[in-house]
Structures are given as structure tokens and as C-alpha cells.
Amino acid sequence: MEIDLSQFHQVFYEESFEGLDTMEQELLNLEEDSDRENINTIFRAAHSIKGGSATFGFKEVADFTHVMETLLDEMREGLRPVTKEVVDLLLKSVDCLRGMLFRMRDGEDVGDEHVELINYFNELLANEIEDASQQENVFEQSVQESLKDNCEDKVWKIEFKPKSYILETGNEPLRMFRELKGFGHLEVDAHLDNVPCFDELKAESCHIWWSLTLDSEIDEAAVKEVFEWVEDDCELNIDQVPRSNDKNVDKDQLEQPQMEEISEDIKQISSETSGQKADQEEKKQTPLVELKNKKEKSEVGTNTASTASIRVGIEKVDTLIDLVGELVITQSMLSELGENFDMSKLTQLVSGLSELEQNTRELQESVMRIRMLPIGFVFNRLPRMVRDLSSQLGKKVQLDIKGESTELDKTVMEQIGDPLTHLVRNALDHGIESAEERISADKPEEGTLTLNAFHQGGNIVIEVSDDGKGIDPDVIYKKAIEKGLINDSFDTPPEQVLSLIMEPGFSTAEVVSDVSGRGVGMDVVKRNINNLGGSVEIESELGKGTTFTIRLPLTLAILDGQLIKVANETYVLPLVSIIESVPLNMAEISRIAGDMKVYKLHDDYIPIIDLKSEFEIQQDLSSSSEGLLAIVEGENRKIALRIDELLGQQQVVIKSLETHYKSLQGVSGATILGDGRVSLILDVVGLAKRASEGANRRNNKVA
Amino acid sequence: MPSEIMKVIQNQEVNFSDTNMMADETGSQYLSFVVGEEEFSVSILKVQEIRAWEKPTFLPNSPHYIKGVLNLRGTIVPVMDLRMRFKFKQNHYGATTVIIIFKNSKKEKESLMGCVVDGVSDVFNLEESFIRDIPEYGSDIDSRFTSGIMTVNNNAVTLLNLENLLDLNLINHPYSGGQVVNG
């Protein structure tokens, strides 16, 4: 059977990138404690990439991972100590591999970045052999002269009975034997007792089974690993038996020719499998042609396939299927009801419709859940950065990650990466002091940077905290006045002073370093997070540390909205932003500073925005004096919106205005209501900004 | 560079339609429509669909010629009134008033814009060599929005420059674009 491999390329790349991520993480853990399991994980990841790339014929990648694997193998065997040098080299290789795979995926040349690294690997490996212990030599030579070794008294006895379809799954026994041979002396016995007569012989099937004898010190897991890919497709018995010398000698003489014979067999089978010798048997020609056609079709399919995909847990899909099943039942119930409907069935209809609503909502929720991924995907790229950066800055930093399994929407996650990276960079550069400073401040030499994620209400909260020197509000205050961001005459509350560092053009770093301090950054962080509908809060205690708290909505696509009416227009206010609403005639409204209207809520005076005039809505009828004030809050700023009516509450699907138009300040997007009309979603923060900017404009005009 | 590529692609599209759809005719196909008392035309390949007039949802602080946004099967599409854009006096929404949805490709991004016109008149073929330059003299219509004159059934029809007409940068909407805080 011929399989078009290119259709699997996408999967290969995805898995390889995942593997590389795993390797990176494990390599970073390797520094602290060299656990065998860590190395095994790295080894497995490298091995999968090697296997995959060899299967798909990406020779450069396969060769490169091979030398990596050799080095890792030595580490796994305990022959090579885990040193910073080696870890650095491996990390560099991970970067290099990632680059190679990226370039290959984009159809570019793989480049020669890896050649240098391969040489370096070889150098390192060769060095080791020269000054290595005897063991290494023994290991090397064991392939040729295993019989002369007598330190081992047990051998592995493997019975490998593959199912007949093993070759169709892309697994080739010859490769596995070759790999086993790498561990030590290998004897292979082929059993041909299951091979049918020639007429019934199928070239795609494997009728041979093997018994193997492996003379090596490796453990059972390693042997099993060779058969990892085929475990389910074969009968496998692995036993450790005492060495019987006579048998070995006997077998050894047989081994060479037999091995070759088998190679021949397999070669023939595999060459026939590849489908290139289509003319060998007449009766095969037709199916092969069909397969070729299929191949062409599937090529067309791959081209159109989207590049982005997510992995979804099977239980999520199962829930979805259950829900769809319920939906179908409800639907058929309703359509039956509709076929001969009379008023007596009204209650049935009502209950049916509410069931439908329930089903739809559940379905919607679980579809949304499919897009949810653990935040670990973002967190996991940070340890590497912290490691590199802290050594670059000469600081000692311990990174603590909590709540990696907290799930959030994929889109949110993609966009939170950069702001998060920035916050971590800032914490390392500005927050955590150098070791000397820390010791003199009576703190542990090693700084701690904590990343924490958890759910709170409908939000996900991400905290980035350090135990560094904290932010001095006085410095910020002075700097802000100096830069003209605030007016000296206002008394700014402390929490607002700190948030000034997120204003554009603000940087407190006395020296602009490579890492941060150019004054762009925090404002970008804030803007990115605001764009996601989230907020950032800063808490800081001088000398104790700083905590940035990012609050994000779980999903971007859906919002709990309150519909409001202004003149003839319907708008949506995010339900979370509404504090209260009061009838206009009962509201305590004062006029201050000339023409500015404010509403008194408890002890606060809140500016009132009349949406009708703010949005320049033209109304056909003269406005009634009736109306409401909706008090809304965003980013700790409260404003009162003068509106005409409160309508219902509903969940709305957020659509972007920017797809075909521009973004508008005060409007975060649009949605489509039940009647098919478009309604705009108001953005409280933007409106508050507009209000204050408007006030400034008016002031300037007066002045 | 991308615009050059787009040109090539567009030309190919034209050639393709030449050979297949209109084997007996030459030139490209155009759609003509009435705005005010004048006739205008655009390449038919730029037209996605034509919809009956419906009142769009008002956009805050919009310039008077931006009527708002409408729901085009789930996407939010802005609507511009060409009569107002061209500074024509008449402004009446009647039975023949339609919204033509144009697609505009710019830097690999395809954007849609609905344009209110007084009525659709014809689809015709014309060779590019028959398109004349617009004589230069003062007109109500911004010269950036037009790209030529063609004669159809002894009527002068103005060919519109959709790239400029639909260019969002040429639409001056207060409080739009730039550093907008969404949330």
C-alpha cells in the first residue's frame, strides 16, 4: 500500500515542535537535579523527532538529532555528567532544530546552522572516548566482539511476532533490529512457518516472525522502547535468560548470513510495498492506479488544509457529541410538535423551547471549552528566558510557576504571551536586585519570581510577582510630573500613581539597558491586555517586591451584555462593568467647574456622559426628559452614562469592527442581535478616556 | 511588491473571464449604476453582491456619508452613501435604492464596503482602450475617486477608482484608528 507521506508533514512538524518544547523544559530542569527520568524524557523527544524526520526523509534533521541522541544516550547511561556546557549545547541544538524545522515547513532551505553544531557534538563525543573509562570502549566494541566479554551473564531473549499488517503502518522490522544491534550483539532467527504458499502471498503483509537474542547491558525499558511504535501491532515477549555459551557460538556462525537473508527478504517486501514495482504483478496494477489517484486527491487536500490546529482532549469531544445528540432529540421533538400543532400543546412547546435553549447554551459552552488550553503553554517558554536573562544580568533568580493547568481561550493565550514576557523581563531587570544588593538588604541571595494563574469569577487571573526592590511611588510621581503626564496640583491616589508607569513614554530605568527601559513596553503591555478586554493592576511594597495582576476574560468571543437604548439605537454594555443604574430624576446631579455634570455616588463624584451628544446621534423625535444613568466602571475609573432605557440582558457574540472598517474609541466591537440587526458593544474604558480627553479639549479652548 | 502581485492576479482573473465567460465578446465586464443623475461604473470583479436598502446601524461620530454598519451573514460591513460622498444634493431612499457590496483587496487583506446607490442599471463589456481620461476641471467629486470616462449607449459613464473610494485612510472618522483602548 502506498501512503502519501506529505499529508502527515503538518502533524510531524506540530509534534516535533511539541517535542522540542518538552526537551527545552526538561533541559532547564536538568540543571537543578539530574534525574534519570528527565534525561529519558529528553531522549524520547529527540528520538521521536529523529524517527519522524527519518521517516519523512528529512535527512539533515535526522542526522542532527542522531548525534544529539548519542550524547543524550551517554548521559542516560551515566557515562557523561550533566554539565552546564552540555546543557547549553543541547539547548542551542533545540533552537537550531526549531529553526531548521521552521525553515523546512516554510519550504525553505534548512540552512547550515546545524553543521557547526554537529561538528561540535562529534568533537565532544570523540573527546569523551579518548579519556573515557573502559566502559565506553566496551560499549563501542560490543557490537563486533560481544563473545569476548564475560562480565555479563544474561542476555535478552525477544520474541517478536508482528501482525500481518505491520508494514502497512509504516513500521519496518529491519529498522528496529538495526536499532537493537546498536545496543549490543544481536542474533536474529526468522521463523517462516506462517508463510503461506506463493499464490496466497501478499506483498503488503508480513508473515515472518522472529526470535532475537540481544547481548547487552541495557534495561528492559530500553528494549521495549525499540518496539514502542509497534506494541499494539505485535506479540512481544521479552525475557532475560542466562547466557548459554554453546548456543551463542552456534548461533553466531549462523547470524551473518541469516541476517543478510532477512535483510533481503525485508528489502524485497518493502520495495514492493513502496508500490514502485507496480508492473511486478499484473493483478496489482488496478488497485495501484487507484491509489495513485487517491494520492493526487490527498495532495490537493493538504494544500487547502489550514496551518493552525489545536489538540483537544477526547473527553471534550465526547461531551460535544452527547450534547449534539440531545440537540437532535429536542429538534425532532419540536418538529413533531409543529407538524400538527394546536393551542393545547402550547405548554409542551414552551418547555421544548426552553430545553432547546438549554441545549444550545450547553453546546456553546462546550464548544468554547474546546478552544481552552492550559496556560502552561505560555508559561513554559518563560523558564528558558529567565535562565538566559538572569545569567546575562548576573542575577540569581528562582522561577516559581503555579497553576499551569488553568485553562484559557487559545486566542487570548496567543496574545498574552508577549505582554507576559515583557512583565517577566521587567521584573528581572528592574525588580530583582543583584545578589550583593539582596544580601545587604537582608534578603536571600536568590531572587524569586512567581507566576501564578487561577480562575476567579468569569476571569482568569495571572500574577507576576517578584521579591525585588519594589516600586517607589514618590519616584514615579516626580517622574510623571517631570514628563508632564500628571498635573502637580492634583492629589493622585497611590494606586493610580503606580499605574502611571503604564502610560506611554514613561520609563524609570536610569540606564536604558538591552533588556528594558526604553519607555515603550509597559504601555504596550497595558494596551495589549486592554485589547483583550482585560486589565492590569500593580501592587508594590518598597523593598519587598512587586506584583502585577492581569485579569482576562476567559474567552474573547462571548460577552454577557446588558442591552440599552439611546435615542433609536440599541447598544450593548458589558454586564461586568455595570455598577448600578438610577432614574435620572432621582439622581443627585451637580454641576461643577462650569458646565461639567457629575453624579454623586456615595462619596465619589462621577462625570456624566450623555451618549446621545457624545456619539452625535441624530434623533427624529425630541428627547423625553425621562432617562437613566448607568454607572459603569472600567480600569478603576467610573463614569455615568445617560441612557434612555434598559432593555434585556443576553449573551452576545463579539464581532470585530476592524475586519472591514476601523476601530472606534468607545466601541469595543459589534454584535448581531436576535433580529439580525447590528448592535455596537460599548467600551467603558474608551468612553472614560474620551470623557477626560474631551474635558481637556474644552479646557484648552477656554485657555 | 504586494500591489504588483495583486495586479498580476487581477489581470489573470480578467483574462480568465475573457476566455471562458464571454468567448464572443472582448474587453472586461463592468457594472454601471446611477448615483444622483449620473451613471457610474466599476469592474464587475470588484462587486461581491447587491442588496436591497436597509437602514444600517449608526456608527458614533461618523462622517455624514458613512451610514453605519450592516450584518452581512455574520460579518460587520460598513456602508457608505455614494451620493453624500460625491456631495450630491438629493438624498432619497426609495424602491430602487440598493447597497452594492464592493470588495477591495489591499495588501492581501480583503475588505468589504457597502455603497448606497440610487439604482443598478447595466452590465456591459468594454475594451480598456475605450476608456478616456477625465477632463480636468472643477467637479464636486474628488478627482481621486474617478479614473476615467467610458461611453455606453451614447451616455458618458464615469469609471470609479474603487481603491481610493474605499480607502479607509481617506475616510476621516473622528475617534477612529490609532491607539484605541478596547475593552
Residue A26's CATH number: 1.20.120.160
Q: Do A603 and A687 sit in the same domain of this protein?
A: yes
* Whether A676 contacts chain B with CB within 8 A: yes
In terms of Cβ atoms closer than 10 Å to its own Cβ (0-12, 13-18, 19+), residue A549 is middle
Q: Do A545 and A587 sit in the same domain of this protein?
A: no
Which residue among B61, B75, B182 places its CB closest to the CB of A615?
B61
* Whether A634 contacts chain B with CB within 8 A: yes
Provide, as residue numbers in chain A, all residues whose Cβ is less than 8 Å from the Cβ of B106. none
Q: Do A389 and A351 sit in the same domain of this protein?
A: no
CA A483/CA A464 separation, integer angstroms: 27
Q: Is residue A73 part of a domain?
A: yes
Number of domains in chain B: 1
Mean pLDDT of A669-695: 85
Q: Is residue B40 part of a domain?
A: yes
Provide, as residue numbers in chain A, all residues whose Cβ is less than 8 Å from the Cβ of B55. none
Q: Do A128 and A10 sit in the same domain of this protein?
A: yes
Q: Is residue B160 part of a domain?
A: yes
* Whether B114 contacts chain A with CB within 8 A: no
Among A139-153, A557-571, B77-91, the range scoring the smallest mean pLDDT is A139-153
Band (pLDDT 50/70/90 cuts) for residue A530 is: confident
* Whether B56 contacts chain A with CB within 8 A: yes
pTM, two decimals, is 0.49
Residue A155's CATH number: 3.30.70
Q: Is residue A284 part of a domain?
A: no
Segments in B21-160 forming alpha helices (H):
82-85
Q: Do A161 and A204 sit in the same domain of this protein?
A: yes
Mean pLDDT of A42-69: 82
Which residue among B68, B168, B182 places its CB closest to the CB of A530?
B182
Domain's final residue, options A355, A370, A385: A370
Q: Is residue A41 part of a domain?
A: yes
B56 and A657 within 8 Å at the Cβ level: the answer is: no
Going by C-alpha positions, the residue among A683, A560, A697, A663 that lies closest to residue A611 is A683
Query: Nearest CA of chain B to the CA of A662: how many Å?
Result: 6
pLDDT, tens digit, 9 for 90 and up, residues A476-527: 777 777 777 666 666 666 667 777 777 766 665 544 444 444 444 677 788 7
The angle, 0 to 180 degrees and rounded to 10, between the axes of the packed helices A173-181 and A245-273 is: 140
Q: Is residue B55 part of a domain?
A: yes
Domain's final residue, options A141, A156, A171: A141
Q: Is residue A283 part of a domain?
A: no
| pLDDT at residue number B67 | 93
Note whether B93 and B56 are within 8 A (CB): no
List the B109-117 sheet strands across, edge first. B47-52, B98-106, B109-117, B75-81, B66-72
DSSP, residue by residue, A169-219: GT--HHHHHHHHHTTSEEEEEEE-TT---GGG--TT----EEEEEEE----
Q: Is residue B179 part of a domain?
A: no
- Which residues, 6 or more positions from A79, have their beta carbon under 8 angstroms from its beta carbon? A128, A132, A133, A135, A136, A139
Note whether A653 and A681 are within 8 A (CB): no
Q: Do A398 and A529 sit in the same domain of this protein?
A: yes
Residue B92's CATH number: 2.40.50.180
Domain's final residue, options A98, A124, A141: A141
pLDDT, tens digit, 9 for 90 and up, residues A118-135: 888 887 777 655 444 444
φ/ψ of residue A411, rounded to 5: -65, -45
| pLDDT at residue number A594 | 65
Residue A574's CATH number: 2.40.50.180
Number of domains in chain A: 5
Domain residues for B23? 2-168
Provide, as residue numbers in chain B, all residues whose Cβ is less than 8 Å from the Cβ of A634. 183
Q: Is residue A287 part of a domain?
A: no
CA A254/CA A248 separation, integer angstroms: 10
Query: Nearest CA of chain A to the CA of B81: how many Å?
Result: 15
Q: Is residue A652 part of a domain?
A: yes
Substitution target in B109, B175, B181 with the highest count of A β-carbons within 10 Å is B181
| pLDDT at residue number A499 | 74
Among A305-314, B12-21, B48-57, the range scoring the smallest mean pLDDT is B12-21
Q: Do A539 and A417 sit in the same domain of this protein?
A: yes
Q: Do A158 and A105 sit in the same domain of this protein?
A: no
Which residue among A614, A666, A678 places its CB closest to the CB of B69?
A678
- Considering only residues A555 and A698, tell me which one the structure prediction assigns the higher pLDDT: A555
Q: Is residue B144 part of a domain?
A: yes
Q: Do A366 and A378 sit in the same domain of this protein?
A: no
Q: Is residue A197 part of a domain?
A: yes
Q: Is residue A282 part of a domain?
A: no
Most confident listed range (A35-44, A192-201, A581-590, A600-609): A600-609
Known catalytic residues of A? Answer: 47, 69, 426
Domain residues for A546? 374-553
Is the pLDDT score of A36 beyond 60?
yes
Q: Do A397 and A536 sit in the same domain of this protein?
A: yes
For residue B55, give the DSSP letter: P
Strand pairing of A667-672 and A645-653? unpaired
| pLDDT at residue number A141 | 46
Helix (H, G, I), strand (E, B) or coil at B114: strand
Q: Do A171 and A114 sit in the same domain of this protein?
A: no
CA A519/CA A281 separation, integer angstroms: 74
Q: Is residue B175 part of a domain?
A: no
Q: Do A131 and A271 sit in the same domain of this protein?
A: no
Q: Is residue B174 part of a domain?
A: no
